Structure 1
């Protein structure tokens, strides 16, 4: 494709494409397209996990009235790791749930903590939501040491990428009963039949569906059309990937 000028993804993550982008070709992602779907999934995953919906569904299938008290999102502290456009969308959706939000990004800015502060912040969080991109720096960042800093009974929500989390370390925490998790992404992915994550306690798994919604499709079409018009008219493009993605 000697005339190739632009690669435009319809995803926010671009890690599969980066190794294949020729010199002189611009790469743009679709930052913002999946904000609504991913943020909505994260809220749903929190509520489903804390209110133990999967256990009640299993009881329903067995015809059992399994009354018990559950956890709740109200009055909890939610730490958003990777506070970008999806993180902001998530915080807007959490506004009515009476929670405290801790924002964390790679570097500090007004109202947002730096990743370097995580050792002091993680012990405060009841829920930790992962929204970081998949990069060499984030691969395995949620390791045994990271998980050990989370408080007993805390919930880990991964709406980022599977390799961000050390699967073995997470399994150990789940099997001990100390932590809970909700994963839309896994490592490996797709999760193969027989993998121990399938039977891990205190875990909700969905098959990478957070952004797979009609809203994302509609917004992707609108965004790509607008981007093509910018290209045609010679105007600056948006969401250009460069430097330290």
Structure 2
């Protein structure tokens, strides 16, 4: 049985890897490091785009685990239909929580306190004083209450928010309190001053923030998206931004990368960062620890962690 492992980080830079596996370095280059048919554990190159991510998959007839280094797996999952049954797709839970939550707070504070206006004022040597909104006393709605959503709530704790409301695919109760279901959003949206998306992109969440969703948001509310661009209907958002009724802070967009000339670049009340929620100095050490742990389990014949789905075999 083959034990080739394809890694986008050189194996000698990762402490704790089991020695009995054969490691091949591949970070999306044109040439493959070995025959894809011999790969048993495939770690998807990070931030290389979906075309590179899935390029070797069709030939990986022996693969048993596909491991992403991203929290989302929507760029890989559609290409798994040709793989044998029983292949585990695992995400990078535990790698991006700190960085993504940190950026979510950065975008909220920068938007509410109008930091872009101060930067523009500095460029023009203008002293733009005045009163600006604070995060204190605001009601915050987190849509997508998984590990990243929980990490965002951790970082909201010192800011004296009036209320933090949690929403996920299905209702449940946590130590912090109730998590509401998506079906409750119509009643929750009008009460939220800040609406944060940290949900995966799925059939259920694609276009969730459509015209009807945005229309239910409170006047003056801030929409923050650190999830996936496709969660928000861009045309509907542009219409709301044009009227000035809500504002937005977006780390992800649809389309992405946002092309030059797109109206979202210059829409009123929008702050855009270039999908940098996870790409910080915190990434490498956490990614290496995840890979060492997953491959140790793999070498021991144990089930990997963070399994998102298991393939059912090629479809006709």
- Separation in 2, partners of 1:186, 1:37: 18
Please point out which of 68, 71, 96 is paired with 1:34: 96
1:205 matches 2:258: no
Query: In the alignment, what sits opposite 2:297?
Result: 230
| Aligned pairs (5 A) from 1:1-245 | 1=37, 2-21=61-80, 22-24=83-85, 25-99=87-161, 100-110=163-173, 111-242=178-309
Q: When the two structures are superposed, what TM-score results if normalisation uses the length of structure 2?
A: 0.76
- Give 5+ residue unaligned stretches, structure 2: 1-36, 38-60, 311-316
- Separation in 1, partners of 2:239, 2:79: 36
Report how many aligned residue pairs link the two structures: 243
Pick the structure with more strand per residue.
2
For 1:37, what is the secondary structure of its paired residue? helix
- Separation in 2, partners of 1:101, 1:137: 23
Q: Deviations over 1:219-240 (max 9, x none)?
A: 0110111000000011221011
Pick the structure with more helix per residue.
1
Larger radius of gyration: 2
CA apart distance, 1:75: 0.3
Contact 1:127 1:154 in 2 (8 A): yes
Q: Deviations over 1:186-235 (max 9, x none)?
A: 00000000000011011000000011111122101101110000000112
For 2:309, what is the secondary structure of its paired residue? coil
For 1:129, what is the secondary structure of its paired residue? strand
Q: When the two structures are superposed, what TM-score results if normalisation uses the length of structure 1?
A: 0.97
For 1:38, what is the secondary structure of its paired residue? helix
- RMSD after superposition: 0.9
